[in-house]
Chain A
Amino acid sequence: MQPDSLTFIFLNAFVINNFVLAMFLGLCPFLGVSGKIKTAANMGLAVVFVMLVSSSSAYGINLLLAKFNLEFLRLICYIAVIASAVQLVEMAIKKFSPALFRALGIFLPLITTNCAILGLALFQTNREYNFPQSLAFSVGAGAGFTLALVLMAGLREKLELADVPDVVTSAALALTLGGLLSLAFMGFAGLGG
């Protein structure tokens, strides 16, 4: 596969260099909202939406800033765009599904400080993706994030019933699971050819 083809960019962000398990972006929701499969999937969807919005806005902003030689303002502009996109999603979820709004709790506004989203915007700028490539990248990254979150939630639902020594508190256990998932995802490394 061509390294700049849309399929490769999508697959790369989806499984090969999974945002959560290989690049360690977005670990807070990965550990925090992975208790139930349903909540995890919904969180994933919210993140996909924010990613799409912020990735396309980041592309436009970058063009604009480059035109006026203001690249040093990039970081500040990106974070402002992401914060507004999150606000938008929050209002939409609150309106359409108050139950989901309660289930996501504090982690919904915290999408603003989810490094996966700012990371996405920064990576697409650093790698100089064009607009379709940026979109493929953000969909792949969002799908990868959702996949990791849902897998983790599935494992943790099973573990509810397991007899675990109580010194291995939830965080240490969750991180070990994360490590195992991450090991498994290393198997995708050869996929790009």
Chain B
Amino acid sequence: MKDPRIPDPLSWSVFTQGIWRDNPVFVMLLGLCPLLAVTNTAMNALAMGLATTFVLVCSGTLVSLLQRVIPKQVRIAAYIIIIATFVTIVDYAIQAISLDLHKALGAFIQLIVVNCVILGRAEAYASKNPVVNAIVNAFGMGVGFTLALLSLGIVREIIGSGSLFGIDLFGAQFQPWAVFVLPPGGFFVLAFWLFVFSLMRKRKETRAKQEEVARAA
């Protein structure tokens, strides 16, 4: 969706691109490992999303600022070092804020380094665009990733343990469907969301085709 009020190149779509049209998870299928591993509760999903967004924005800023300095041949290595630096910061910050959260997320905080969403953004966007654009775009991607994490985390926590953000929803008689907080549940819920989105896309395509036929007639 392009908003004509704001002139290019810094348009509204730079931000919304990551949320809907190029959502890193549902459209590009990137960053699936943390997506499935830490979404057994909504709280973990939210924390992971925020941490990833922080790393995305910071590394995007730095990569964009240094785009003229980093030689082309070693750019991937340079990006990874930049990302690893910010991930280390996040890791120690989470440890300082909440040790329980750090334990729940485990090694997956440090594994943000190898989240392909971040490296993908650095390579495909931040290294070619001005700083402001890079920040806005990275923030949009972060929000899109967080929303995807939440959409899995919420479904899995409600079905798998009958609660949301730790608050009991159904009372004591509810029999939780425990497989949804276990690893297979992650696969099934993500498959379900992908199915829903592909169904929506198909519907839209069919409708567009019908309208075209109607216009031609």
**Which A residues form the contact surface with B (CB < 8 A)?**
21-28, 31, 72, 75-76, 79-80, 83, 110, 112-115, 118-119, 122-123, 126, 166-169, 171-173, 175-176, 178-180, 182-183, 186
Q: Are B88 and A72 in contact (CB under 8 A)?
A: yes
Supposing A175-B190, A175-B194, A179-B187 touch, asked if A119 and B85 sit within 8 A by C-beta, the answer is no
Partner of A169, one of B34, B36, B107, B194: B194
Complex Cα spacing A167 to B87, Å = 38
Supposing A114-B114, A168-B195, A183-B179 touch, asked if A25 and B80 sit within 8 A by C-beta, the answer is no
Q: Are A113 and B88 in contact (CB under 8 A)?
A: no
**B91 nearest in chain A by CB position:** A75
Q: Are B194 and A126 in contact (CB under 8 A)?
A: no
Q: Are B37 and A122 in contact (CB under 8 A)?
A: no
CB distance from A113 to the nearest CB of B (A): 4
28 contacts between A and B (CB under 8 A): A21-B183, A24-B32, A24-B36, A25-B37, A26-B33, A28-B33, A28-B116, A75-B87, A75-B91, A76-B85, A83-B77, A83-B80, A110-B116, A113-B119, A115-B111, A118-B110, A118-B111, A118-B113, A126-B107, A167-B199, A172-B191, A172-B195, A176-B188, A176-B191, A178-B187, A182-B183, A186-B182, A186-B184
Q: Are A169 and B110 in contact (CB under 8 A)?
A: no
Q: Are A175 and B111 in contact (CB under 8 A)?
A: no
Is B175 interfacial (CB 8 A cutoff)? Answer: no
Residues of chain B within 8 A (CB-CB) of A26 are: 33
Taking CB atoms and an 8 Å cut-off, the chain B residues in 169-208 that contact chain A are 179, 182-188, 190-192, 194-195, 198-199, 202
Partner of B110, one of A122, A176, A178, A180: A122
**B106 nearest in chain A by CB position:** A126
Is B101 interfacial (CB 8 A cutoff)? Answer: no
Complex Cα spacing A172 to B29, Å = 11
Q: Are B36 and A27 in contact (CB under 8 A)?
A: yes
Residues of chain B within 8 A (CB-CB) of A112 are: 80, 114
Is B147 interfacial (CB 8 A cutoff)? Answer: no
Complex Cα spacing A110 to B113, Å = 13
| A115-B111, A175-B190 given; 9 more Cβ-contact pairs under 8 Å | A23-B183, A24-B186, A75-B87, A79-B113, A118-B114, A167-B195, A172-B192, A179-B191, A182-B183
CB distance from B108 to the nearest CB of A (A): 8
Complex Cα spacing A26 to B31, Å = 10
Residues of chain B within 8 A (CB-CB) of A166 are: 202
Partner of A75, one of B34, B84, B188, B191: B84
Residues of chain A within 8 A (CB-CB) of B183 are: 21-24, 182, 186
The 8 tightest CB contacts between A and B, nearest first, are A179-B187, A175-B191, A24-B37, A172-B194, A182-B184, A24-B36, A183-B184, A113-B114
CB distance from B173 to the nearest CB of A (A): 26
Residues of chain A within 8 A (CB-CB) of B113 are: 75, 79, 118
Partner of A122, one of B80, B111, B198: B111
CB distance from A152 to the nearest CB of B (A): 11
Q: Are B202 and A167 in contact (CB under 8 A)?
A: yes
**B197 nearest in chain A by CB position:** A172
Q: Are A171 and B29 in contact (CB under 8 A)?
A: yes
Q: Are A182 and B195 in contact (CB under 8 A)?
A: no
Interface centre among B88, B194, B199 (most CB of A within 10 A): B194
Complex Cα spacing A31 to B182, Å = 20
